[in-house]
Structure 1
Amino acid sequence: MSRRNSGGEDSLFLKLFDYLDKHSDHNDKEILKKIPKIKKAQISNIRANLYKQLLASLRLFHRSNNIDIYLNEQLDYAHVLYDKGLYKSSLDILDKAKTKALEQKQYMMAQNMVEFEKHIESQHITGSMSAKAIELDELSHFLIHRNQKSASLSSASLQLYGLYLRHGYVRNQKDYKYVTEFFEEKLPVYDLEDLDFYEKLYYFQSYVWYSNMCHDFLNYYRYAQRWVNLFHDNPAMKDKELASYIKGLHNLLNALFLAGKYKKFKKAYLELEQFNSDGVLSINRNEESLLVLFKNVHMINLHYMQGSFTECLEMMPELEKIIVSNKYNWDQHRIMVFYYKIACLYFGAVQNENCIHYLNLIINNFFPKVREDIQSFARILNLIAHFELGNELLISYQIKSVYRFLSKMNDLHEVQKEIFKFLRKTPRIEPKNLNHEFGLLRDKLVIIREMPFEKRPFLYLDIIAWLESRIEGVAVEKVIERNFNLLQNENATLG
């Protein structure tokens, strides 16, 4: 398409494209040196022209398999025909496109088409005024009601997800009250039977975010399963909303991981691993990014559950290459979660220097209002890793700054308080009494773990397994692996 333009800057942007396609260095100085016909004053405009042409070409390439692009294109054609005075031709295109939009449940686009139809019918005599006016009026009212409902539900889902990204899990009764009131205020009350596909999707998503934040992992699992089942019941929507389906699988796996349901987790994980192995679905870059992201997240979670930390670490160099190269443009939240998970793997495998390295990637970087809970626990784990390395002076210095950070975040739990107490007095504990002190701390934490809103610290780090590892003189992963095997044997006996 773009080669039809042959003169001036229109031919220079093609030369720029050929250069950028063959070279990784996109520095302006290098470009001006290699393409002398491009002047310094032109380069900004030529880059912008190239960008515009690339977007236009990509739009043409994707219009056959992207319903949004197709429908927008049909609406554009209808406007062009209308401007030429071809009113009936414009109405014909609108009618066909509107039917397609309604079939695909693209109600917002259908409403735009109906409004344009109404405009044409009201301005010009087309021979269909009387019957058409009634039909358009009824359809317009239906679509306005549908779109208002969908907009309110999608807003509720988005705002709850934003709340989760900022704060993570509720920390106390005050948090729980705030999140619950926020949820009840934002989520409208609807009968599920009255909701269409998208409305149900937003409704289930809202419950997923809310249940997860409130430690209600049973409902987190239930609504994540309903999210996935919605696509199973509407298989045609899987291709249209593939990213949402993949995210549903991710949340189902996350719920099973948090609830410790290993067998169900393993089954769902294998489903994710084998996703689209037959190549039936057309996967774009965004969907590929999500698949790679969630496969890695749950590969790590699987090894967490099994206690096979060292085995999992063998796969981390490949993941780090993806993160460093920014191949998929993952956001700060995703990258921070990976850094924390990798740090926990190293901690479990008793490689504390590497653990601290990854924790510092969180602590020494600025992540404004993103998963403050993980930022807090990165600092706690950092103290413990330094304790393991015998860095007593560093700990005494860092305890104060970490305490201030957690106080500022309003994130001081009973667990953190007990760990602070323990670390402060360790320099005064005689080596022969250390195991006894580990045992006392473990017993306190076992009691705290059963308290409402105190389960959260144990979701980030199995602190009790760490204490048992110190008492027994083995790696943390060995304790978790032993506990995992005991649980599997118990489940096999029961079932």
Structure 2
Amino acid sequence: MSRQFPDSNTIERAAQRINRMKPPKSKTAEVLSARVSLNIAMRTGKYEECIRYTDRIIDVFKKSPALIQGHTNFKLFVTAIYYGANFRTYLRQYKESDELMRLLESPLNVRQCDPGLYYEVKTLHELAMGVATYDLSRSRKAIGEYELLPAELHMQIPAIKQSEIFFTAAIASIIDGTPKDALRFVNIIRASKPTDIRNDLRQYIRVLFLIIHFDLNNLDVVETGIKAGRISFKRKNVLNPFYDAVFKLFSKMTRAKSIQKSEIAIREFLDHYSGEKAQFWASMNNYFNLRAWLTSKLEQRDFFKTLQEDEKL
């Protein structure tokens, strides 16, 4: 039996109910309340609210350092810092994001207390910041240092977080114009156990696979990837118009007998970004800016420059 997740209206009602509740009396209860509210805000994509709740958790621990003594609370404090920084990155508050992450160095000294946790959040942050600010040297440095870590440190990082690291590294490599590196990272994820990959990333990795092989001009592999993706999604009952349109797009692009026909296919896909479901289509760009990538193909421009010159894509 498939799991039934609450819809957006149910989540919104839960958030309103929590907001009407009396403020918790104890610090522990305050942290718990903020965690619940944070999870709800994350489901609804309200990043400003997410920041408010992560900041509340951080503030409680900073005012009551005795609470951080246990491993569970220490990890909660560190992850609140990371998520607070991450949400600021989404909102392009880059300076504030980096400043918040500096709490990991002093006075927490997370690298010494929990090196696995430190390199997990540090690598994810550096990769994301490199992509967001187009400072790809920062992303390259982050994944390079991560891969040089001792095996025992890698084992301390949850497999699901390692897949997130390689997913972001693949995106950075696509933007950086190094599709072979991107393919290596994608193949690491594809070789992982299904339980070691977030479900949404496991689905979107198929899109990255098509993009990379298209950039490498491996059109036969692209067609194979389309067939495999369609079979997998049908078997798993994945109903998502975005993926259906992506498979259709790449099928047309690989079989196009002329540049003009390929351009028509791209324009048809890009029309979705201004159609009835424009907001949904735009939200899928939170993984990878497919719209900008396609625009760079359409205009025969460098992908990296397209991203830099038009952040609205």
1:144 counterpart residue number? none
Partners of 1:344 and 1:284 in 2: CA distance: 26
The amino acid that maps onto 1:321 is: L
TM-score (norm 2): 0.83
Partners of 2:137 and 2:301 in 1: CA distance: 14
The structural deviation recorded for 1:333 is 0.7
Change (3 A) 1:201 1:179: farther
Asked if residue 249 in structure 1 is aligned to residue 81 in structure 2, the reply is yes
Counterpart among 135, 152, 165 of residue 308 in structure 1: 135
Change (3 A) 1:316 1:281: closer
* CA deviations over 1:174-214 (Å, ceiling 9, x no partner): 74429947x959x9898443331111112211222222123
The amino acid that maps onto 1:234 is: S
SS at match of 1:307: coil
Change (3 A) 1:178 1:429: same
Partners of 2:232 and 2:192 in 1: CA distance: 14
Asked if residue 428 in structure 1 is aligned to residue 256 in structure 2, the reply is yes
Bigger relative contact order, structure 1 or 2 (CA pairs below 8 A, ≥6 apart): 1
Change (3 A) 1:237 1:475: farther
1:202 counterpart residue number? 32
* CA deviations over 1:200-239 (Å, ceiling 9, x no partner): 1122112222221232333323222222232344344355
Partners of 1:395 and 1:289 in 2: CA distance: 36
Change (3 A) 1:254 1:449: farther
Is the Cα–Cα contact under 8 Å of residues 51 and 87 in structure 2 kept in the other structure? yes
2:275 counterpart residue number? 447
The structural deviation recorded for 1:445 is 3.2
The structural deviation recorded for 1:343 is 0.7
The structural deviation recorded for 1:269 is 1.5
Is the Cα–Cα contact under 8 Å of residues 171 and 288 in structure 2 kept in the other structure? yes
Counterpart among 108, 113, 124 of residue 297 in structure 1: 124
Partners of 2:19 and 2:274 in 1: CA distance: 39
Change (3 A) 1:189 1:215: closer
Counterpart among 412, 423, 437 of residue 265 in structure 2: 437
Partners of 1:283 and 1:373 in 2: CA distance: 29
Is the Cα–Cα contact under 8 Å of residues 446 and 464 in structure 1 kept in the other structure? no
SS at match of 1:451: helix
2:291 counterpart residue number? 464
Is the Cα–Cα contact under 8 Å of residues 347 and 385 in structure 1 kept in the other structure? yes
Partners of 2:182 and 2:86 in 1: CA distance: 23
Greater Cα shift, 433-442 or 300-309: 433-442
The amino acid that maps onto 1:225 is: D
SS at match of 1:474: coil
The structural deviation recorded for 1:335 is 0.5
Change (3 A) 1:271 1:295: same
Which residues in structure 2 correspond to 1:200-349 (within 5 Å)? 200-238=30-68, 241-258=73-90, 261-263=91-93, 265-273=94-102, 275-277=104-106, 280-281=107-108, 283=110, 287-322=114-149, 324=151, 326-327=153-154, 329-349=156-176
Change (3 A) 1:448 1:353: farther
* CA deviations over 1:69-105 (Å, ceiling 9, x no partner): xxxxxxxxxxxxxxxxxxxxxxxxxxxxxxxxxxxxx
1:50 counterpart residue number? none
- Identity of counterpart residues, as a percentage? 15
The structural deviation recorded for 1:271 is 3.1
The structural deviation recorded for 1:395 is 1.9
Q: What RMSD, in angstroms, separates the aligned Cα atoms of the two structures?
A: 3.3
Is the Cα–Cα contact under 8 Å of residues 105 and 111 in structure 2 kept in the other structure? no
2:211 counterpart residue number? 384
Partners of 2:276 and 2:55 in 1: CA distance: 30
Is the Cα–Cα contact under 8 Å of residues 224 and 255 in structure 1 kept in the other structure? no
Partners of 2:6 and 2:302 in 1: CA distance: 36
TM-score (norm 1): 0.55
Partners of 2:112 and 2:202 in 1: CA distance: 29
Which residues in structure 2 correspond to 1:150-165 (within 5 Å)? none
Partners of 2:165 and 2:34 in 1: CA distance: 26
The structural deviation recorded for 1:462 is 0.8
Partners of 2:276 and 2:173 in 1: CA distance: 26
Greater Cα shift, 371-380 or 190-199: 190-199
The amino acid that maps onto 2:95 is: K
Any stretches of 5+ residues in structure 1 without a counterpart? 1-166, 168-173, 488-495
Partners of 1:470 and 1:204 in 2: CA distance: 44
The amino acid that maps onto 1:201 is: V
SS at match of 1:368: helix
Partners of 2:60 and 2:178 in 1: CA distance: 43
Change (3 A) 1:323 1:469: farther
The amino acid that maps onto 1:243 is: K
* CA deviations over 1:384-410 (Å, ceiling 9, x no partner): 211222222222222121112223444
Change (3 A) 1:325 1:448: farther
Asked if residue 406 in structure 1 is aligned to residue 233 in structure 2, the reply is yes
Whichever of the two has the greater Rg, that structure is 1
Is the Cα–Cα contact under 8 Å of residues 110 and 118 in structure 2 kept in the other structure? no
Partners of 2:308 and 2:296 in 1: CA distance: 11
Greater Cα shift, 428-437 or 467-476: 428-437
The structural deviation recorded for 1:378 is 0.7
Partners of 1:300 and 1:283 in 2: CA distance: 19
Greater Cα shift, 431-440 or 399-408: 431-440
Is the Cα–Cα contact under 8 Å of residues 346 and 354 in structure 1 kept in the other structure? yes
